[in-house]
């Protein structure tokens, strides 16, 4: 048994009562939280004691959508100023050159960046497997860095010759996809509270996967009780594609292939109407909101305020690192708050006419990045600091130039410029300590990554 005691911090619990505890602390035993309260009410000793005076302590941030491998193709000149479909067709041939070592290295980089931004649980969506790469390569990186991973076994089966967007060289046969999906579920999926690895089945998008694979993936996932994930309603181009190819709008198509339920979450979900928001709410589908990527690719602004009003679970995702081009989850929290306000502005709504209507607050944005993400992933063991939950948290020292003069410690980290965290802890173990990664050598990872990235483009 090992215990860890955190003292004298400003604790943001994100529990149902939204409790905040100044001069608070955590008592942790064997990777789980045993007590959250004022420091004076906690035990006074433990195997390790950390005084976090002047620090804000938050539940570990939860990333609900990412493609770790894309960290190799950030800011590629030809894809810098493209919308989604042009961006994809530019990058597919580069991604086709990746090998297993590239997948591992890029995942290390993405996970390291996530950890430095306060993330403790991350969904990764790997949907092409060139040159012998496997989902195992990304999982191995998560095990080394020490973050929890929702490893999404992605897939593409609808190549150009069959009317899809990706070149035939990067799509796989449905038989091999389903066989490998079953393999990784049986080998890795852990359904228990505190799981470090869970598997998700994640056919890539309506324009890269056949209807049959969508249906079969859903059947397989439900047989094993794993969750389903895909890109949906990201752009207007996709909406047109779905109408022409399937005779449905994207959400209607999902209903057609049995992709609705509390075991399904969609990335983006920007282009939806009021009826479709009700469909998500009725069936408890989750949404991974990726504001930076949506701005970067000019995809649009997801109706997050409407989703939340309808009771739809919404979490945040940094999205693949070629459309962000970073993996900073705290920055995503800030962008979620700001872009929600932009949407209020462009719908021409005047707040002064309705005292009941408010702008998205810093605390609401943080809730999306913590408990919201946990709900989207179906992880009831993370997302808030409460007795019995996983001991996953991050801590930020508020004594910095950028926070000088801030009158609210919680709002400071969202309204202020995004910073790297000082501590990230997963299951009671330090991933980041005093601002530095402790599980991997950041410089070595970056060097290896840069070499691989250069090779892909030459
Ligand atoms: Zn994506």
Structure confidence at residue 82 (pLDDT): 94
Question: Tell me: the pLDDT tens digits for 392-430?
Answer: 999 999 999 999 999 999 999 999 999 999 999 999 999
- The CA 65 to ligand 1 mean position distance, Å, reads 6
Distance 45 CA to ligand 1 centre (A): 45
CA of 267 relative to ligand 1 center, distance in Å: 7
* pTM of the shown model: 0.97
Ligand 1 centroid vs 29 CA: distance in angstroms?
A: 36
Task: Kindly tell me if the per-residue pLDDT of 274 is higher than 90.
Answer: yes
Q: Which of 382, 376, 292 is nearest to 328 (CA)?
A: 292
Asked if residue 352 has pLDDT above 80, the reply is no
Distance 231 CA to ligand 1 centre (A): 6
Q: What distance in angstroms lies between residue 88's CA and the mean position of ligand 1's atoms?
A: 11
Ligand 1 centroid distance, CA of 219 (Å):
23
* Å from CA of 322 to ligand 1 middle: 9
Q: 228: CA distance to ligand 1 center in Å?
A: 14
Cβ neighbour number for residue 107 with a 10 Å cutoff: 28
Instruction: Compute, in angstroms, the gap from residue 3 CA to the centroid of ligand 1.
Output: 38
CA distance 319 to 301: 14
Mean pLDDT of 123-142: 98
pLDDT tens digits, one per residue of 237-249:
999 999 999 999 9
DSSP class of 359: P
Q: How far is the CA of 16 from the centre of ligand 1 (A)?
A: 30
Give tens-digit pLDDT for 72-107: 999 999 999 999 999 999 999 999 999 999 999 999
Q: Say how many Å lie between the CA of residue 317 and the centre of ligand 1.
A: 9
Tell me, what's the pLDDT at 348? 65
Give the pair of three-digit tokens for residue 232: 């949906």
pLDDT digits (tens, 9 = 90+) for 182-193: 999 999 999 999
With left for phi above 0 and alpha for psi between -120 and 50, is residue 225 left, alpha or beta? left
Residue 35 alpha carbon to ligand 1 centre in Å:
37
Q: How far, in Å, is the centroid of ligand 1 from the Cα of 192?
A: 27
The number of residues in the chain equals 458
Measured in angstroms, how far is the CA atom of residue 294 from the centroid of ligand 1?
10
Residue 134, classified by CB atoms within 10 Å of its CB into exposed (0-12), middle (13-18) or buried (19+), is: middle
Checking if the pLDDT of 221 tops 90, the result is: yes
Please report the pLDDT score of residue 358 as a whole number: 79
Q: 211 C-alpha vs ligand 1 centroid, how far in Å? A: 19
29 closest CA partner among 50, 47, 44: 47
- Give 251 Cα–ligand 1 centroid separation in angstroms: 17
Q: Which two tokens stand for residue 450?
A: 């840069």
pLDDT tens for residues 290-321? 999 999 999 999 999 999 999 999 999 999 99
Output the CA 140–ligand 1 centroid distance in Å. 21
Average pLDDT over residues 377-388: 98
Cα-to-centroid distance, 108 and ligand 1 (Å): 18
Q: Mean of the per-residue pLDDT values for the chain?
A: 96
Looking at residue 169, what is its pLDDT? 93
Task: Determine the distance separating the centroid of ligand 1 and the alpha carbon of 392, expressed in angstroms.
Answer: 25
Q: Average pLDDT, stretch 141-159?
A: 98
Q: How far is the CA of 139 from the centre of ligand 1 (A)?
A: 18
Spatial CB neighbours of 429, under 8 Å, sequence gap ≥ 6? 31, 146
- Strands (DSSP E) found in 52-101: 55-59, 61-63
Distance 266 CA to ligand 1 centre (A): 10
Q: Check residue 415 and give its pLDDT.
A: 98
Q: Where are the beta strands (DSSP E) in 321-450?
A: 393-397, 423-426, 429-433, 436-437
What integer pLDDT is reported at residue 31 of this predicted model?
98
Distance 309 CA to ligand 1 centre (A): 25
Distance 129 CA to ligand 1 centre (A): 16
Calculate how far, in angstroms, residue 131's C-alpha sits from the geometric centre of ligand 1: 22
Question: Is pLDDT of 350 > 70?
Answer: no
| Whether 147 contacts 121, CB under 8 Å | yes
Integer Cα distance of 259 and 255 in angstroms: 6
pLDDT band at 434 (very low <50, low <70, confident <90, very high): very high
How far does the centroid of ligand 1 lie from the alpha carbon of residue 49, in Å?
A: 40
Give the C-alpha separation, 26 to 39, whole Å. 8
Task: Look at residue 349 in the predicted model and tell me its pLDDT.
Answer: 61
**DSSP 8-state symbol, 78:** G
Per-residue pLDDT tens digits for 50-70: 999 999 999 999 999 999 999
Query: For the segment 171-220, what is each residue's pLDDT rounded down to a tens digit?
Result: 999 999 999 999 999 999 999 999 999 999 999 999 999 999 999 999 99
Residues 440-454: pLDDT tens digits? 999 999 999 999 999
Confidence of residue 345 (pLDDT cuts 50, 70, 90): confident
User: 270 CA to middle of ligand 1, Å?
Assistant: 13
The pLDDT value given to residue 275: 98
């Amino acid at each position: 048994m090992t215990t860890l005691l955190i003292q004298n911090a400003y604790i943001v619990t994100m529990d149902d009562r939204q409790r905040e505890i100044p001069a608070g602390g955590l008592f942790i035993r064997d990777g789980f939280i045993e007590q959250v309260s004022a420091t004076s009410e906690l035990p006074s000793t433990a195997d390790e004691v950390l005084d976090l005076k002047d620090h804000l302590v938050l539940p570990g941030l939860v990333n609900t959508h990412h493609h770790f491998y894309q960290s190799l193709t950030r800011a590629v000149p030809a894809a810098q100023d493209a919308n989604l479909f042009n961006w994809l067709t530019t990058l597919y041939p580069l991604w086709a050159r990746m090998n297993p070592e590239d997948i591992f290295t890029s995942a290390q980089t993405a996970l390291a960046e996530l950890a430095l931004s306060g993330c403790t649980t991350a969904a990764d969506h790997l949907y092409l497997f060139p040159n012998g790469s496997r989902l195992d390569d990304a999982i191995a990186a998560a095990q080394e860095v020490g973050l929890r991973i929702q490893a999404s076994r992605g897939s593409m089966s609808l190549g150009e010759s069959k009317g899809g967007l990706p070149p035939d060289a990067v799509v796989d046969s449905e038989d091999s996809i389903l066989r490998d999906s079953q393999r990784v579920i049986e080998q890795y999926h852990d359904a228990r509270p505190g799981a470090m690895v869970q598997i998700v089945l994640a056919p890539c998008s309506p324009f890269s996967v056949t209807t049959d694979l969508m249906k079969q993936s859903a059947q397989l996932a439900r047989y094993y009780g794993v969750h389903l994930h895909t890109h949906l309603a990201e752009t207007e181009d996709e909406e047109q594609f779905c109408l022409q190819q399937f005779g449905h709008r994207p959400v209607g198509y999902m209903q057609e292939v049995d992709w609705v339920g509390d075991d399904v979450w969609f990335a983006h979900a920007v282009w939806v109407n009021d009826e479709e928001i009700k469909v998500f709410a009725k069936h408890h589908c989750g949404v991974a909101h990726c504001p930076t990527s949506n701005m970067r690719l000019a995809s649009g602004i997801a109706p997050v305020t409407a989703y939340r009003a309808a009771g739809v679970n919404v979490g945040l995702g940094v999205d693949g690192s070629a459309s962000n081009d970073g993996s900073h989850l705290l920055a995503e929290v800030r962008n979620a708050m700001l872009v929600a306000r932009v949407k209020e502005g462009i719908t021409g709504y005047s707040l002064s006419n309705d005292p009941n209507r408010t702008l998205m607050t810093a605390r609401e944005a943080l809730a999306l990045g913590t408990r919201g993400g946990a709900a989207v992933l179906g992880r009831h063991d993370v997302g808030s600091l409460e007795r019995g939950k996983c001991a996953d948290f991050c801590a930020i020292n508020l004594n910095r130039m950028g926070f000088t003069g801030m009158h609210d410690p919680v709002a400071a980290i969202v309204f202020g410029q995004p910073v790297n965290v000082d501590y990230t802890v997963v299951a009671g173990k330090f991933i980041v300590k005093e601002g530095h990664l402790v599980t991997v050598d950041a410089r070595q990872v970056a060097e290896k990554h840069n070499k691989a990235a250069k090779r892909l483009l030459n």
